[in-house]
Structure 1
């Protein structure tokens, strides 16, 4: 396997390493990943996260296992175990489908390695295309807002929504960025803020419930978010709290864009009502955990509702920024997703 390098994934001399995102921003620790069980744990603990990165990480792990002598039958079984690791992120399913095709080849070891490497390279290219399409929407001196983490930590390339924002920054558009901390996992506060500092993007961190005030004051010109799955009608699932932002943006007439690669489109989902929503550990709402340990602020037995994602309906979206272009509500209603990816 080639030596590959991304912000959260890398291969070196045929071995796979994952950056532990739960330790960011204060510690950077690379974990050597060698087994399917380990990869599932990394994904479920959010040590590896971001829809594209999850799919690519799982694919690279299968390729590694093939080079270690696993049989076709074992690799097929492992692919199904990996598929169940995160039910909402469709990139994982799409990438594993590609890997399963490679596993059928007579020379399945070479085929799986080539497929995983191709998926990595594809995501790098898709991220760059999304960045170019999205950055063209940004006007000089705009104040942007984003939710959760959609940068290089979540992909093999420059990211989705944050990739757009970073390219606009590199183009000298003098942007400023509001970063939602993103409850309950604080992935905006821990990860997006860290990436912005690395990239030199001027930003300010806010609590999620401050976004409405900023919009009312005219301090948000445009919103970019990512997605874990886009349904055929344009509804999309993203980190919980995205739907609230879309409602606020609609009321305040702030343009609201979802940025995602075509690998996030799931034509088998007619609309957002059939997108599976992952429910997570109650302690993520009762308190917070990280490199510093765990702190509980709620009663230990407090009942908790903790969906990882919510669904934003298409009628609240200004535009879909994909690697193939930017699409309006009229485009989506006319079936452009089916025409492009059906």
Structure 2
């Protein structure tokens, strides 16, 4: 087969045209992956599935959600680290893996500051304290709960979705700030924690506020404190901890997007913009609000700085608790 000069020039022109296309257009090929370190059905998975729909045809022809639960999401992070930085593999994760885990785990198989590329948060969730029927019905605020806990030391406890989780250390922050002793009861997820709260088996729980929303109307549990600087749009009648004299009890969980180390800055910025647009789509926003998440976006450099500040803020809280994990 012979290739004449005109054909060669045509190929060269086509190659030049392709090289000048915007990055997303060049990447519309194959199947991309959104990796989630948790089973299907939870809030992180919900976010990832909405993003998969919104990102279709941008960075890849389609995106699939790849659930890799286990080892506290470290399997998912390893899968990201093993992927090429080509824009088609994105980890969707709560920020705890990059903010709290460095202080919790004695040995962490990744460097949270250098082994991944933070892209942007997509949403955030606020934490809240709720009490159940074990606590008298007249207790309607944090001060009342603290007084009850001091008078009922044998019952004073808080449940969280997991040992070493952000809600666990929100509880430790409450203990230190309020001068009260509360036994920590770790569960395997928010659902069993709230079931025990409603069933009167644990006095209180700290979880993302969205976990409480299906149960608030029934009146069996009472949300008495919100751990954010402002009241939550989901429960606007519930005062923040700061309003109740506990200004240090502030914290939120971002659900963010991360890409492999070495992702070009321009590509990271483009993806951050796509994610920010995706969570503003009304149908997506409504789905996420149903699980207690609000849209939240930053540029990649801003998100990296946000995570660094969070690591620095959580480190003394974790160390003061004396809690650590080997693996």
Give the TM-score of the pair, scaled to structure 2: 0.29
Greater RCO, 1 or 2 (C-alpha within 8 Å, sep 6+): 2
